Chain A
Amino acid sequence: NAGVTQTPKFRVLKTGQSMTLLCAQDMNHEYMYWYRQDPGMGLRLIHYSVGEGTTAKGEVPDGYNVSRLKKQNFLLGLESAAPSQTSVYFCASSYSTAGGADTQYFGPGTRLTVL
Chain B
Amino acid sequence: QKEVEQDPGPLSVPEGAIVSLNCTYSNSAFQYFMWYRQYSRKGPELLMYTYSSGNKEDGRFTAQVDKSSKYISLFIRDSQPSDSATYLCAMSFNTNAGKSTFGDGTTLTVKP
Are A42 and B98 in contact, CB atoms less than 8 angstroms apart? no
- Chain B residues contacting A108 (CB-CB under 8 Å) are 42-43
Contact of B97 among A45, A92, A102 (CB under 8 A): A102
- Chain B residues contacting A4 (CB-CB under 8 Å) are 43
Are B32 and A42 in contact, CB atoms less than 8 angstroms apart? no
Report the interface size class on chain B. 20 to 34
Complex interface bits, A29-41 against B, C-beta within 8 A gives 1, otherwise 0: 0110100000011
Whether A43 touches B95, Cβ cut-off 8 Å, given contacts A101-B51, A105-B46, A106-B45, is no
Are B92 and A42 in contact, CB atoms less than 8 angstroms apart? no
A13 at interface (Cβ–Cβ under 8 A)? Answer: no
B65 at interface (Cβ–Cβ under 8 A)? Answer: no
A74 at interface (Cβ–Cβ under 8 A)? Answer: no
- B residues with a Cβ closer than 8 A to A are 6, 32, 34, 36, 41-46, 49, 51, 88, 90, 92, 94-100, 102-105
Q: 16 additional contacts, CB 8 Å, given A42-B105, A43-B88, A106-B45?
A: A31-B99, A40-B104, A42-B6, A42-B88, A45-B99, A48-B98, A90-B43, A96-B96, A99-B96, A102-B99, A104-B90, A105-B46, A107-B43, A108-B43, A109-B41, A109-B43
